[in-house]
Amino acid sequence: MKSEEFEHKVLELSVNGIYVYDMIKGGYVYINKQFTKMTGYAIEEINSILDESFIKLFHPDEKESVIKHYEKVANSKIGDIIETEYRIKKADGSWMWCLSRDGIFEVNKSQKATKIIGTFIDISERKVTEKKWTENNKKLKQINKELDQFASIASHDLQGPLNTIITLVDLMINTYSDWLDAEGLKTLNYIFEISARMSHQIKSLLNYSRIGTQRKLTMVDCHQLVKDIEHDLISSINKTGAIIRLGKLPKINAYQIEMRLLFQNLVENAIKYRKPNTAPRIYITSTKDGNLWKFLVEDNGIGIDENDKAIIFNMFERPQHKQKYEGNGIGLAHCQKIIELHGGHIWVDSKQGEGSIFYFTIPLLQV
């Protein structure tokens, strides 16, 4: 088989629509079987349409962009492939979205393009999916906005009465303590503690709902970030004798505020959930794993029972052996939401009484 025949056979068997357009005479000089199958046109029919009106073949919304596309192709170099998307009117009158890749097929003595070759595929289904995704994303943004407004309003409306209760109970304890018996004081102190805890939980819920709402990607120096957190926590570090060691920590493209909250929660937990009479030892490092940064935060604390690993990242769920420690069970939920926001994953390796190692991944590139 001659090379020309072989090339023609390949073109005919292609799953893409293929065409050659003559820029001197105007019109298609070749279309393959797949082109005819996808559009319903024979070469004579499509040229007849082009002779009558360019806009009849291409959707009016893409007319100008298609003209600019082919002008760009004509002014390109042989070997360059230029891509575009447009709608073409099929023989049955329906519109088909195409992903077209075009380049110069032939030039004259002055190196001006005389023929253009192009291939295209039907991307109509993809466009429908993209449209649905865009619409759903728009609805989701609106829902998130409404939820954020609801969280803010609910927080404000709930905080007001709670603050009043806390203030009044505190006033009663300080003013009427001599008039109350032990049981009365115990009840008032209980109301005060419960109200204060509820107020803190409401604030935590509001903070959780706002994670990622004002996010902005920036280059984050994780080593410096942890050093800053260490400085901010100097009081509790000195009080407990905690020692924080840092291994290799990279600069990553991430959300600065959220990453700070992530590391701060993990370090604070490592200090809080320490063994009695044991100074906290915390080690933070990272390694590159393919297209991810894998981080490690290790401590020598009280650890986590195997049965509790499934709940520690849930809001307001705390392992039984941690109930005696202050907290509302939302810190690790914050961590998980932040990691998911970055497209990563977080998990823990721990045994009760033997410390914990929290792992999390962050993709090298964020979009």
CATH number of residue 233's parent domain: 3.30.565.10
In this structure, the answer to whether residues 173 and 257 fall within a common structural domain is no
In this structure, the answer to whether residues 203 and 219 fall within a common structural domain is no
**Coil, strand, or helix at residue 241?**
coil
In this structure, the answer to whether residues 347 and 218 fall within a common structural domain is yes
Residue 343 belongs to what domain range?
214-367
Q: Which of 155, 187, 210 is the last residue of a domain?
A: 210
For 233-248, letters b (16+ CB in 10 Å) and e give beeebeeeebebeeee
DSSP readout, 152-178?
A: HHHHHHHHHHHHHHHHHHHHHHHHHTT
In this structure, the answer to whether residues 348 and 228 fall within a common structural domain is yes
**Predicted pLDDT of residue 192:** 82
- Within its chain, how far is the Cα of 2 from the centroid? 53
Q: CA-CA distance, 221 to 61, in Å (whole number)? A: 46
In this structure, the answer to whether residues 91 and 128 fall within a common structural domain is no
Q: Which of 122, 150, 174 is the last residue of a domain?
A: 122
The span from the first CA to the last CA of the chain, in angstroms, equals 50
| Residue type at 282 in one-letter notation | I
- Within its chain, how far is the Cα of 74 from the centroid? 39
In this structure, the answer to whether residues 238 and 205 fall within a common structural domain is no
In this structure, the answer to whether residues 128 and 194 fall within a common structural domain is yes
Which residue ranges in the chain fall short of pLDDT 50?
1-3, 6, 9-10, 367
Reported as a single tens digit per residue, the pLDDT across 62-91 is 888 988 998 899 999 888 999 999 999 999
Q: CA-CA distance, 272 to 283, in Å (whole number)? A: 15
Count up the domains in the chain and report the number. Answer: 3
CB under 8 Å, gap of 24 or more: what pairs does 64-72 form?
69/100, 69/102, 70/102, 70/116
**Predicted pLDDT of residue 323:** 52
* Angle CA 82–86–89, to nearest 5: 135
In this structure, the answer to whether residues 55 and 160 fall within a common structural domain is no
In this structure, the answer to whether residues 159 and 140 fall within a common structural domain is yes
Assess contact for 201 and 168: CB atoms under 8 A. Answer: no
Q: Answer left, alpha or beta for residue 167, where phi above 0 means left and psi between -120 and 50 means alpha.
A: alpha
Assess contact for 357 and 247: CB atoms under 8 A. Answer: no
Q: CB neighbours of 329 closer than 8 A, spacing ≥ 6?
A: 314, 315, 316, 317, 318
Written as six digits, the tokens of 346 are 């977080």
Assess contact for 297 and 351: CB atoms under 8 A. Answer: no
**Predicted pLDDT of residue 209:** 61
**Predicted pLDDT of residue 1:** 41
Q: What is the DSSP letter of 56?
A: G
Q: Which of 153, 182, 210 is the last residue of a domain?
A: 210
In this structure, the answer to whether residues 252 and 348 fall within a common structural domain is yes
Q: Which helix (H) or strand (E) holds 347?
A: strand 346-350
Assess contact for 34 and 16: CB atoms under 8 A. Answer: yes
**Predicted pLDDT of residue 154:** 62
In this structure, the answer to whether residues 234 and 327 fall within a common structural domain is yes
In this structure, the answer to whether residues 231 and 199 fall within a common structural domain is no
The bridge status of strand 243-246 relative to strand 281-289 is: parallel
| 218 DSSP β-pair partners | 254
Assess contact for 350 and 356: CB atoms under 8 A. Answer: yes
